[in-house]
Structure 1
Amino acid sequence: METYPITIGGVTRHVPLIEPLPGRRIPLVEFLGDPEFTRAAAEALRPLVPKEAEILFTTETSPIPLTHVLAEALGLPYVVARRRRRPYMEDPIIQEVQTLTLGVGEVLWLDRRFAEKLLNQRVVLVSDVVASGETLKAMEKMVLRAGGHVVARLAVFRQGTPGLAVDTVAELPVL
């Protein structure tokens, strides 16, 4: 398998190149199972978090360990939007998103009990990679529907030109 080298905070990984759409290859960044890389990425994001932030908001799956480490370093709580409805969810906020990175549409789900944690809070959106920005746009809509206020949009890596302003640490190519 062909790989691509990426470095964050002095930590280098050779990540696989995948082809989510014909003729479009991208480095696949995952934080699951890699504490050293996750800590380096969270530490690189930390200065971008506004002082007034009260809670972090992310999606499953790869951004969860990143957001956890960042939240722990900042002493902040975090909330996770799910990509599937869970049987225990009551009155969830449901938001559709067209992810160009994966080439498929999906739905984000946020259980009402977690949505309530965003009410009247200054929220920072956290992602691993931003490409089109559609997932972050959907997350922002969820925060607004929950009564929160987005104060920052953060991602470790930018890939291409997102359709909204996002603070990032590094660039990933589209090959």
Structure 2
Amino acid sequence: MPHGLAGPAPAVTLQANFVRGGLILALAAHHAIIYGTADFQFFKMSFAFLIGHQLETVDLEQANHDSSHLILLIPEVNLLFDMLTSQPIWCYFLIPVETLNNLVERARDKHSGINVQISDDRMSALYWKILFPLRIARGMPPDTESKCSHAINTRVALGIPSSYIGA
């Protein structure tokens, strides 16, 4: 993608838009360099510099952490089988509306043993609650198919500090 600069493409683009009564900062970065959680860490560190604060040691360490040594995915051992023999397949799951409604009702029932209080689920619900009326207002039929991806933050489970900004 052309960027008008000599040398390699920038890893992060930060644009300041001055508007009456304030400032809008827009941050763009490729997901192979930085992703959602790290965007906020980038802003946190940038604002610390702007107001003259020093970065915390853990933030500074993670900002300079080499992602190729973050997690050892395949240990260096002699394998008893060829790991490349299996063929990967793409899987997706379709949940009928009736089933989804049933799951929502069960999640609300304190006696069912299911405790669904994940903020990501609430954010997804809010997203669709806002998006659906906008689509209808633009003339899209209510039965138009939509797709929504869901990312899972595994940093805590993998022992990666929340201040790590790599992808």
* Alignment TM-score > 0.5, same fold: no
Q: Which has the higher contact order (CA 8 A, sep 6+)?
A: 2
Larger Rg: 2
Structure with a larger share of its residues in strand: 1
TM-score by length of 1: 0.21
Structure with a larger share of its residues in helix: 2
TM-score by length of 2: 0.21
